[in-house]
Structure 1
Amino acid sequence: MNATPGGGRPTRLAPVDVLRLGLLGITTRRMRAVLSALGISIGIATLVVVVGIPASSHRDLMDQLSALGTNLLRAEPVPDQNPQVLLPGDADAMAKRIGPVLTASAVANTHTVVRRNDLVDRYDTSGLSVLASRPGLLETVNGRVRSGRPLDAGTAGLPTAVLGYVAAGRLGFDSVDPRQPPQVFIGERWFTVIGILDPLPLSPDLDRSVLVGWDAATAMLGFDGHPTVVYLRAREDALEDVRAVLPATLNPQLPGLVQVSRPSDALAAKRATENSFSALFLGLAAVALLVGGIGVANTMVISVLERRREIGLRRALGANRGQIRVQFLTESVLLSALGGTAGAALGLLATIGYASYQGWPPTVPVIAVLGGVAGALLVGVVAGVYPSIQAARQTPTKALNTP
């Protein structure tokens, strides 16, 4: 295996022989191998955990910010114009034709008064607006129904209403009983309340509104069919582009008379958070790998010092320096591979467990797991270079005479 008869050129080691030599130090010193692998596994587990737990928390934060409607835009005519600027009746459908737009809907002020009952002063508006609503409004503004149900195609033409969160409080309702639904007086007729909405932090005007179906507003409240506000959601990466073309889309003749809201501050916060977390991940990963690499290097240096007699005996039997280097380098890589695999699995389980306990969506970037194992192999190579060179420099005589 080591040399040809007669002192010829040494025989090259087959991959299987290299693996056996690398496993020799591990199998004969099992406790030391376990402790050495434990050092690198802790480092890699730390790498996975410090990336996975913040990633899970970050994912939860991004979900919360997205639920606010960070990709929401609203377009409306510029106020106080003479004559009044009117949006087309199908303005929301026109907005949907813009490529990056995901969904769009519209509301319109019916300029009618809502009252708790017909005995309340007809001029007491309570600061509330009655809005005609297109289907799909709640989906567009990320709204949720707190009690009851939303307006839909089946109720669009019926005298039914959905109350915003603030509107429900001012009218004295906190829930909807489907068996005995409450009623409100809108204009000169009764409307049945079928739902109450949760707060909409990025659309406070809807919190102070009473929503009725588009067809019902046209037939019962004298609504002219022109929307006053168009809401839309678009891909976050194209939000600025959509904002730039939206006025010309809704009013090609006079785009300057259509104003569009700027992206919310929540979107800027979301993007800043993504950048800061990326930098944090890289820093923590680098520290974890450095700690694990130092541990493996220390273990291999001590291993060379304690195995000088073994090195001397192998050299005396014909092993050359290259074979000695390969033996110790392979052992270092195997130790790191075992530790890296165990550490990645341990870190994965710890991250999933902690994230589930916190109620976060478990998120472990694949690159963290694969990168951890690959990093462990790289650390094994780097950490094993110096010890393997030191072992190869041992002469048979000096090594065998080591006390």
Structure 2
Amino acid sequence: MSPRSVFGPYARLFAVPGSVAFSFAGWVARLPIPMLGLGAVLLVAGETGSYGLAGAVSGTLALSFSVASPQWARAMDRRGQGAVLRVAMTVYLVSGVAFVAAVTAGAPRWSWFVLAALCGASGPNIGSLVRARWVAALDDAGRRQTAFALEAVVDEVVFVVGPPLVTLLATLVAPPVGFLTGIVLGSAGGFWLAGQRATEPTLHVPDPGTPSRRWAALNATVLVVSAAYVAVGVVFGAVDVVVVGFADAEGVTALAGLVLAVFAGGSLVAGLVYGVARLPGTLVSRFLATAVAFGLAVQLLWGVGSLPVLVGVGFLAGLTIAPVLVSGTSLVESRVSRAALTEALSWTTTGLTLGVTAGSALAGAAVDAWGAETAFAVPALAAAGAVLLALAGAPLLRRGPRVPAGTGQPVARVDDGVKG
């Protein structure tokens, strides 16, 4: 596959008016995704010496985000992204700064959890907002798959840039600086995106005489994909904490962010190729195949015994991340009404962040109890769970509309007749 055949479809996406601005603003606004979780671990562990407490605080951030983000998305489907996003970003900025102040000033630890929860709950799912703008701008299903792959690559660039940046700032400057930088960048990107009204998706006014859009946003496909993504999220949350603990045990804490960036680098490469490949099979079969590949690749973590081995394993496992995320997102998009799309996409990310919450807490406790090397069992077992959940949900997925190979467009939509 030549570079032109890979990058050409991505370049053509940016012929869409306003797409460069909303995609780049979304990238900046997503930088806090890895920076805040890892930044909270570095900040709290630096202040207390406890990875268990650090993982619990980081997990609180993710849990509150996972509960609140679909509600923000639901409000944006009804009232528009701009107005709602401005309110959310204001609370996000204030609560994030207050959290850092509470930790560094030695405030009661219960206040750390309260402020972390408020900060997480005020952060909308920026990725779903950007993806909804692409769906509104693109009529062709193949181009939407490419756009989703682009956004998966953007997510991975965030994870390439964010962890090394927050680790270096926290270890070489001061622990609070990494977290604060993420808050400032995320707020700036969020306000920038909120100001781009021309590319907002069209509002769909609910009709009181038709079924609730809640059912469109939580159909069987969304539930199955979100459930599998819970286990995928456990892998992400656990790897963040265990890698920091492992690098600390090896005496190279400052390299933890670089190791995490390698995972994202592998996913970035795979995402670029997956987004332009025209693969055989239905969207259901692609999702199941990529879930199995992800689960098998992460089992390599059982063999990690040194930092160089971890780097190699991380890159190989990373190659399976973007495909499973893009395939699941494409499947959900094909089976949800446009009136509920932002919320439905947010539910899939809610599954991921619920998993991140559990993974951070479980891995933090495992590192404290067993040591970092043994704690790699947490993400490895979670990846196996992702495979089991995807395969268990396969009958439900196959009851939906069949999808022609290579198109990403359903023959008959599951939401036909579902409005509002």
TM over 0.5: no
The structure carrying a bigger strand percent of its residues is 1
Structure index of larger Rg: 1
The structure carrying a bigger helix percent of its residues is 2
TM-score using structure 2 length: 0.25
TM-score using structure 1 length: 0.25
